[in-house]
Structure 1
Amino acid sequence: MIITFVTGNSHKVEEAVAICSSRGIKIVQNDCGYPELQEDDVAAVAAYGAENVVNRLGSAVIVEDTGFYIDALHGFPGPYAAYVQDTIGNAGILSLMQDIGDRGATFRSVIGYCEPGTDPVTFEGAVTGRIAHRPEGEGGFGYDPIFEINGVTLASMGDAKNKISHRGKSFEKFADWCLGREGL
C-alpha cells in the first residue's frame, strides 16, 4: 500500500515512515501544499486538508495537523502551533511561561486520510506533559526541546519518542486501521 503524505515537513515524514514501513505501508512525500482551514478543531483542519488534496492528486493521501495546548495560557497556541513556532518559537513560549507554576500542556496530532470518492477519516493521538524551564535535547523539532514527559523532553528521547508522542500515537492508530481493512 502506497500513501502520499502531503507536507513540507520532512521530520513528520520520517516519523510516519518509522511507524508505517514496518507494517508494509509505504509513505511518499508530496509538498504540493493545500489551503489550511482556519479552525479551532485540529480534526476538522486535517479532514479538510485531506479532502482538498485527494481531489487534486487522485490517490490515497494523508495530512497531519497538530495542536499544542498550554494550560496556563488557556490553550494557547492551540491549532496555531506551527504559526506560533514560526513567529515566537520556543524562546517566546518560555518567555510567556516565565514565573508561571502551572506548566501543564497537551499535544494533539490528527491525521486526515482520504481516498478518491470517499469521505476523510481521522486518527487522533494526544500526550500530556509539561513545559520545561529551558530547552533540552538535540533530537526532534518544533516544540520537542521544551515539552517534557516525566521530566524528559521529546527532543531527548531519541527513537523512544515515536512510542509515546502525540504523532506516534496517531500514526499507530492509522497504521493499525490500514492493516485491519479488508483487501489490504
Structure 2
Amino acid sequence: MNNLLFITKNEGKVREIRELAAPHGITIEQVGYEYPELQADTLEEVARWGAIHAAAIFRRPLIVEDSGLFISSLGGFPGPYSAYVHKKLGNKGILKLMSRIKDRRATFKSVIAFCDGSSEPVIFSGSVEGEIANKIRGKNGFGFDPIFLYGDKTFGEISRDEKNKISHRRVAFERLIRWLLEHRDVQTI
C-alpha cells in the first residue's frame, strides 16, 4: 500500500488530507512530531524548512503543510502567522479588527512541501478566494473556517465533504498527487 507521512499535530488537516488521498490509493500516516516552526514571511519558506527538518529525522517520503488566511485590507495579515494569531486572537479578535472595514476580501492559502530526504523539497500551493464574515457562523471545520465566507456560507457552515471539493488544501494536494504520479521513481509511491 502506498504510504506517505504527514508531519502535523493538526487532526483537522489530517482528516482532510486522508479523504483527499484515499481515492488515489494513498494512505496518510500522521506523525505528530512538533518540529520547530520557522518564522518567515511566506508559507513556502515555512513549509520548505519544516520538510527538510522532518526528512532528516524520519528518512521517508513525507509532507509538511502550512496554511494561512490572508486578509486584503490588513495587508495580508495574518498570513504565515495565522496559527499564532488564531491562538492569541481567535476568530473574535479578527472580527474585532475587521469591525469597521468594508473591504473584507480574503484568501485561504495552503502550501504543501514534499520531501523524500534525497533532494530539495518540492512545493505545491493552492488558494481559494472569499471574504471575512461579519460574525462567526457554523461549527464545522477548524481555525478560521467559521469566519471565512465562500459564497453565501462560511467554511464552518459546510460539511467536510463540501469543503474538500473547493478548499485551498485540495488544490495544493491535487497538484502534489499529479506530481507524485509523474515521478513514481523518485519516491515510494
Unaligned 5+ residue runs, structure 2? none
Structure 2 residue corresponding to 1:167, chosen from 146, 166, 169: 169
Q: Compute the displacement of 1:180 (Å).
A: 2.6
Q: How many pairs were matched up?
A: 184
Do the aligned partners of 1:23 and 1:179 also contact (CA within 8 Å) in 2? no
Counterpart residue type for residue 139 of structure 2: E
C-alpha deviation, 1:149, in angstroms: 1.1
Cα offsets for 1:19-62 (capped at 9, x unmatched)? 01110111000011111111111111101100110010111111
Question: Where does the alignment leave 5 or more consecutive residues of structure 1 unmatched?
Answer: none
Shift of 1:13: 0.4
| 1:109 aligned residue | 110
Post-superposition offset of 1:123: 0.6
- In 2, are the aligned partners of 1:11 and 1:140 still within 8 Å (CA)? yes
Structure 2 residue aligned with 1:178: 180
Paired position in structure 2 for 1:3: 4
After TM superposition, the score normalised by the length of structure 1 is: 0.96
Write the letter of the residue equivalent to 2:87. D
1 CA distance for matches of 2:61 and 2:32? 15
Which residue of structure 1 lines up, in the alignment, with residue 58 of structure 2? Answer: 57
Shift, 1:182, TM fit: 3.5
| 1:106-133 deviations in Å (ceiling 9; x for gaps) | 1110001100211100110011100000
The aligned counterpart of 2:126 is 125
Q: Map of 1:15-164 to 2, 5 A cutoff?
A: 15-158=16-159, 159-164=161-166
Distance 1:88 1:146 in 2: 13
Give the distance between the partners of 1:101 and 1:42, measured in 2 at CA. 26
Q: 3-state DSSP class of the match of 1:134?
A: coil
C-alpha deviation, 1:162, in angstroms = 0.9
Deviation, 1:80, is 0.1
Hey, what's the Cα distance between the residues in 1 that align with 2:64 and 2:139?
Answer: 26
C-alpha separation in 2, matches of 1:79 and 1:35 = 15
Structure 1 stretches of at least 4 aligned residues deviating more than 4 Å after TM superposition: none
Q: Residue deviations 1:129-166, cap 9 Å, x none?
A: 00000111121000000001112111112111011111
Aligned residue type for 1:169: V
Secondary structure of 1:48 counterpart: helix
Counterpart CA distance in 2 for 1:70 and 1:54 is 32
User: TM-score scaled by structure 2?
Assistant: 0.94
Q: Distance in 1 between matches of 2:98 and 2:78?
A: 12
User: Could you say what the CA RMSD is over the residues aligned between the two structures, in angstroms?
Assistant: 1.1
